[in-house]
Homo-oligomer: A and B are copies of this chain.
Amino acid sequence: MDAEIVSIGTELLRGEVIDTNASYLASQLPLLGIDLYRVTQVGDERGRLVEIFRQAWRRSQLLLTTGGLGPTEDDLTREALSEMLGEELKVDPTLEQGLRGLFALWGREMPSHNIKQATLIPSAQAIPNPRGTAPGWWVEKEGKIVIAMPGPPKEMRRMWEKEVSPRLSQQVKGEIIISRTLKTYSLTEAEVDELVSRSSSPVEIGIYAKPDGIHLRLIARAPKQEEAEERIQQGEACLRQILTGHIWGVDDDTLEGVVGTLLADGGLTLATMESYTGGLLAATLSDAPRSCAYYNGGLVAPPKETSIALGVEAQLLSQYGATSLEVALAMATAARQRLEANIGIGVSGEDAVFIAVEDGRRNRTYHGNYPSSYPEAKRRATIAALFKLRCLLLSPD
């Protein structure tokens, strides 16, 4: 099935809002076996909307729209679809009742212009939207489908997941599609590309460079669920063999979640002291669910005096300077001891970054240089520290 997306809203054409709806839908369509050929962003202008809808209707079997379903004069998706399809807009009594009920629940009278959110054309069915006042539209006509969804991402995503995607997957007969993402580290995109090109994996593979390493997205297609599952498992097994030792996570895994699970499973606790990363390491660690079970806390210590106050020996600082592996190690030890944890991480540095992870017996260190801007360098150093922590946690005693 060929699809296109039309994202509607003048704010998109002013560059004030980034069209994350289109990229979200684009990432979801392959899982239904639907091919996306075009995304168009257009402002709230009726004539232009009708023209774009006409072209899309001619070209594609599936048209997905987001935005323009609000109650104001600028919201023109319903009007433009009705004009494009030559059908009359009418208030649907059930939708009107529901909308009035919603306002009654809020203890407010329904503003008169909201009534347009209760309108339909004869070939449209309403799609429920429990997160807002704008129902979606599902139109089937002449063997083609138009689906209009609201613009706010929370409303759109819920509608996609709960209503649109299940119904579309029933209609797109013939193929089951399953995806799996493998996340690697310590390999370049070119190295992954070369390794993978030599494999005979029975799946489609996309390779993407991300801040936390190279991701491989596997897609398996088959007529039946079991076949698709078998195929993706074969593909994953094949790639795991090729990339052995380089895969740190799958699908929605995050680095902080993966090290968090290792810490929790091992009954270990962690403490940090960071200068170079300025608190980003702590903020990232604490993003993981249940992090308070294993993360004892951290110290953010920019200048030398603070590090000394927090337990780093003054002599070390004068001997090695604030930027050295020795000082990063002393920071890791001070954090571990002061916050009574099993493992400490120290991140020091000015131009270059120095990272140490230690548990009182063993340590892992890293020394790197980032040619990027400071916020980007902070982020890369945080990821490097988490990889070093993972490395220590996975090492045999």
Instruction: Tell yes or no: A191 within 8 A of B by CB.
Output: no
Identical copies in the complex: 2
Interface pair B30/A14, CB less than 8 Å apart: yes
Listed stretches A71-79, A220-228, A275-283; interface member: A275-283
Of A22, A28, A272, A285, the most chain B CB neighbours within 10 A belong to: A22
Give chain B residues whose Cβ lies under 8 Å from the Cβ of A282.
278-279, 282-283, 300
A12 is an interface residue with CB less than 8 A from chain B: yes
A93 within 8 A of B: no
Could you say which residues of chain B place their CB within 8 Å of the CB of A15?
Answer: 22-29
Q: How many residues of A contact B (CB 8 A)?
A: 65
Cα separation A42 to B301 with both chains bound (whole Å): 48
Q: Which residue of B lies closest to A52 (CB)?
A: B38
Instruction: Check if B302 sits within 8 Å of A279, measured CB to CB.
Output: no
Please tell me if the beta carbons of B299 and A306 are within 8 angstroms of each other in the complex. no
A121 to B271, CA, bound (A): 61
Q: Are B13 and A37 in contact (CB under 8 A)?
A: yes
Nearest-neighbour CB distance to chain B for A211, whole angstroms, equals 13
A190 within 8 A of B: no
Contacts A15-B28, A39-B13, A338-B309; is A287 near B278 (CB within 8 Å)? yes
Residues of B within 8 A of A272 (CB): 300
**CA gap between A282 and B18 in the complex, in Å:** 28
Q: Indicate if A291 sits at the interface (CB-CB under 8 A).
A: yes
Given contacts A27-B14, A27-B15, contact A309 B340 (CB under 8 A): yes
Name A361-382 residues within 8 Å CB distance of B. Answer: 374-375, 378
Find the residue from A38, A206, A285 having the highest chain B CB count within 10 A. Answer: A38
- Whether the pair A38, B30 counts as a contact (CB closer than 8 A) is no
Cβ distance A331 to chain B, nearest Cβ, rounded Å? 12
Q: Are B291 and A302 in contact (CB under 8 A)?
A: yes
Question: How many Å lie between the Cα of A282 and that of B208 in the bound state?
Answer: 31
Report if A16 contacts B (CB, 8 A). yes
Q: When A13-B37, A27-B14, A42-B37 are in contact, do A279 and B296 touch as well, CB less than 8 Å?
A: no
A26: chain B residues at CB < 8 Å are: 12-15
Binary interface profile of A, 259-296, with partner B (CB < 8 Å = 1, else 0)?
A: 00000000000001000011111111111000110011
A295 touches B302 (CB 8 A): yes
- Residue A303, interface by CB 8 Å: yes
Q: Is the CB of B28 within 8 A of A38?
A: no
Residues of B close to A277: CB separation below 8 A: 283
Do B38 and A42 touch across chains, with their CB atoms under 8 A apart? yes
Is A151 in contact with chain B by the CB < 8 A criterion? no
Are the C-beta atoms of A297 and B286 separated by less than 8 Å? no
Across the interface, A283 reaches (CB within 8 A) one of B30, B52, B279, B303, namely: B279
- Complex CA gap A286/B283 in Å reads 12
- A40 sits at the interface (CB 8 A): yes
Q: Which of B279, B374, B375 contacts A300 (CB 8 A)?
A: B279
CA A300 to CA B222, docked complex, whole Å? 50
**Residue contacts A-B, CB under 8 angstroms, 16 given:** A14-B27, A15-B26, A15-B29, A16-B206, A18-B23, A19-B22, A37-B42, A38-B40, A277-B283, A278-B283, A282-B283, A297-B310, A298-B299, A298-B300, A300-B300, A306-B339
Give 20 new A-B contacts, CB below 8 A, not counting A15-B26, A38-B40, A298-B300.
A12-B26, A13-B39, A14-B36, A15-B22, A16-B206, A16-B208, A16-B217, A18-B19, A19-B23, A37-B42, A38-B48, A39-B40, A272-B300, A279-B279, A282-B282, A283-B283, A295-B302, A296-B303, A298-B299, A309-B338
